[in-house]
Amino acid sequence: MSTSSPHVTVLLEEAVTALSVHPDGIYVDGTFGRGGHSRRILQQLGPQGRLIALDRDPQAIAAAASIDDPRFTIVHTAFAELADVLAQQGIAQVDGILLDLGVSSPQLDEAERGFSFRFDAPLDMRMDNSRGLTAADWLNSAAEADIARVVRDYGEERFAKQVASAIVAARGQEPIVTTRQLAAIVAKAVRTREPGQDPATRTFQAVRIYLNRELEELSLVLPAAIACLKPGGRLAVISFHSLEDRMVKQTLRDAATVDRLPSRVPVRAADMPQAPVTLIGKAIKPSAEEIRQNPRSRSAVLRVAERTGGERA
């Protein structure tokens, strides 16, 4: 069963513009999805340019088969493996890296993927549905305290304890195997919710982030991406919720900050250490028109940094 709609790439022009694509450069699209950003990058590359794309979703890998271009390479892996992928391709450093985080529209709209409570479907939620535990596997076996921690930390759900207790009680009666089952259980446990938001929203987000190790993967790829950039190379990251954006913002800010020397140390300005990156502009958000055409873009935030010649001591 599938109810997918055409995928709309968020912040397409802004993200590719932020990369400042050089015709002969080497670029990485760490989250191919359905290829919107990749196709636009390829349009700006010359004959000697190169694009390496990564994705852990087998359906995204299948979609990439439609790009018949010798400059393009697709690799089925999580973006945390970025450094290894480049090494296997014989590439030391690249001119730009783009990361479009979170879940894609096709993943949300294809009921059988189990990401959305809008459909009654198997409770899966794996971005790479060829391996690993499903959401049903985990929810039917995890300790109540672990479920509460995940829902609290990854979903920022204030009723996390109540949600975990309700899940454990419900699975004692019958296994939780569908999205509608989980949504109904959570709805009874969450007493109040922001207007317009389904009570299950935060719990579904939390379980998805936990199962796919999204924040762990992000914490690994950000420093790796900075290290893999040439001086002058750009890193552009699109986030969709506060946990992601907080990590991106802090990591880039830290990398753009020069380590302080002890006071009164006689050092010339020219000899001061240089931070690994410099931040490019302010955070970019979708225009009102983009939000009107694609409401899912509403929470998107694009942050950009450029590699310097500096290194951490």
36 known ligand binder:
yes
Q: How far apart are CA 145 and CA 151, in angstroms?
A: 10
- DSSP tag of 95: E
Q: Is 55 within any annotated ligand binding site? A: yes
Q: Which of 280, 291, 204, 201 is nearest to 237 (CA)?
A: 280
- Return mean pLDDT, the chain: 91
Residue 51 near residue 41 (C-beta atoms within 8 A): yes
Helix and strand element counts for the chain (H, E): 13, 7
pTM: 0.90
For 307, phi and psi rounded to 5 degrees?
-75, 135
Per-residue confidence at 262, pLDDT binned at 50, 70, 90? low
Residue 37 is labelled as binding a ligand: yes
35 is in an annotated binding site: yes
Q: What is the pLDDT of residues 17-45, one digit of tens each?
A: 999 999 999 999 999 999 999 999 999 99
DSSP H or E run through 16: helix 12-19
Is 107 among the annotated ligand-binding positions?
Answer: yes
Tokens at 26, concatenated? 């080497």
Check the annotation: does 100 bind a ligand. yes
- 70-126 confidence digits (pLDDT tens): 999 999 999 999 999 999 999 999 999 999 998 877 777 788 888 888 889 999 999
At 51-61, the pLDDT tens digits run 999 999 999 99
Structural domains for the chain: 12-105+214-307 (3.40.50.150), 129-211 (1.10.150.170)
pLDDT one-digit tens code per residue, 130-176: 899 999 999 999 999 999 999 999 999 999 999 999 999 999 999 99
- Which is it for strands 229-239 and 26-29: parallel, antiparallel or unpaired? unpaired
Q: Round to whole Å and give the CA distance between 195 and 266.
A: 58
> How far apart, in whole angstroms, are the C-alpha atoms of residue 198 and residue 171?
22
So what's the pLDDT on residue 1?
Answer: 42
Q: Token digits for 154?
A: 């990854």
